[in-house]
A and B are shown apart, each in its own frame.
Chain A
Amino acid sequence: MDREKENILNNLKRSGPGFTVPKTYFEKLEDRIDQSRDSIDANLQEYEENTERKLKQKSVFTLDQIGKNHGFIVPDSYFEAVEPKILRLEKPKIIPLKNNFIRILSLSIAASILLFFGIKYMNTGQNTKNQLVFQDEEFINWIESDLTDLNSYEIAEVFNDMELEQSLYAEDDVFEYLNSVDIENLILEN
């Protein structure tokens, strides 16, 4: 039985797999591959030409084509003129101010903010038993005593023990602010 199976397999092996190809298939195959390759190359070339044409139509440029000219220009003789202007800045005209003035100014600003919020919150809502209630007479006395016109020094005196955080107003910002306003008006206003 085993020998019979072996003979069948040997016969099959000898007769081959049974697949065939057309005559001269392998001779013509190379020509057909070459033709296909030429056709692919032609299509690719056509695609590249079309793309290039489309890019040109869209005015598309690569960085290398644009180059390094950014298009910015300066007024004539600008660099000659700017040099003395910069050198004049070397000694900026900063009005010398005593530290006390800056401190008082900072305190005045802080006091004004506190006063603003104080007034705002005192004016909201209905009076309750816990809130202060002023009599007319007290108001008249207050106004007659000229207490309505507190100046920044008096406000600063009230908040004498208050320390401002250094980061609240950077020194540069204070100088920039002082340079941008009229000092005389600032003093008069405060």
Chain B
Amino acid sequence: MLDEEVLIGQLKDPSTRDASYRTLVSTHKERLYWHIRKMVLNHEDTDDVLQNTFIKVFKHIDGFKGDSKLYSWMYRIATNESINFLNKKANQMHVDMQTLQEKRIENLKADTYFDGNDIQLKLQRAIVSLPHKQQLVFNMRYFDELKYDEISDILDTSVGALKASYHHARKKIEAFLVNQ
């Protein structure tokens, strides 16, 4: 894999920008897609949010100072784009975020691009019952298998707080699976 610093340099250099954009998209599209998908839930909306994420990346790459890793910065943009998207949808429907997510979970039953069974659907219900930040932490740790220091970089939260958050999230999900 191309060294991150080299890639950032190439992205900022107009003569190498096009080729490095291709590398960037090719390298990160799938990880970002799945990160967004687990928040937004349906494929079409994820596709829109993914494209908006890359537009923001292209637009602001010159201002990227390298304080965090490039992929952490992109994950953060994707997270913000997903949250903004869901907030807009909730406002349009005049419902709160929790209700919106529950509705979107119910829509999964008829979604062509969801082939999970009842148990996997129940797991998704359990996840959206969590506070929003715990949802993020759970998805990133459990499904994406990111390390705590990587999640810390993305969410700007201490590793200790993330460990506690993940522990609580797991307990609540297990209780939901047993009791509901």
Chain A residues in the interface with B (C-beta under 8 A): 55, 59-63, 66, 68-75, 78-79, 82-83, 85-87, 89-90, 92
**Alpha-carbon distance A83/B51, docked complex (angstroms):** 10
B55 within 8 A of A: yes
Assess the A70–B143 pair: CB atoms within 8 A: yes
> Are the C-beta atoms of A71 and B29 separated by less than 8 Å?
no
- Please name all residues of chain B whose beta carbon is closer than 8 Å to the beta carbon of A60 when the two chains form the complex: 177-178
Given A62-B174, A66-B120, check contact A75 B29 (CB 8 Å).
no
Is A86 touching B25 in the complex (CB atoms < 8 A)?
A: yes
Q: How many residues of B contact A (CB 8 A)?
A: 39
Q: Are A82 and B124 interface neighbours, CB within 8 A?
A: no
Q: How far is the CB of B56 from chain A (nearest CB, A)?
A: 9
Counting residue pairs across A and B whose Cβ atoms lie within 8 Å, the total is 85
Q: Is B64 an interface residue (CB 8 A)?
A: no
A72: chain B residues at CB < 8 Å are: 34, 37-38, 41, 43, 113-114, 116
* 9 sample A-B contacts, Cβ–Cβ < 8 Å, listed by A number: A63-B173, A63-B177, A66-B123, A69-B120, A74-B113, A82-B50, A83-B25, A89-B51, A90-B58
Please indicate the chain B residues that have their CB under 8 angstroms from the CB of A70 in the complex: 38, 116, 120, 123-124, 143
- Residues from chain A with a CB closer than 8 A to the CB of B148 are none
Instruction: Assess the A63–B116 pair: CB atoms within 8 A.
Output: no
Complex Cα distance A128/B143, Å?
70
User: Of B22, B26, B43, which contacts A74 at CB under 8 A?
Assistant: B43
Chain A residues with Cβ below 8 Å from B18 are 90
Nearest CB in chain B to that of A65: its residue: B119
Residue from A63, A68, A71, A87 within 8 A of B25 (CB atoms) = A87
Contacting residues, chain A, for B178 (C-beta < 8 A): 55, 60
Cβ contact within 8 Å between A59 and B30? no
Q: How would residues 39 to 66 of chain B score, 1 for a CB under 8 Å from any chain A CB and 0 otherwise? A: 0010100010011001100100000000
Contact present for B37 and A87 (CB under 8 Å): no
Least CB separation from A88: chain B residue = B51
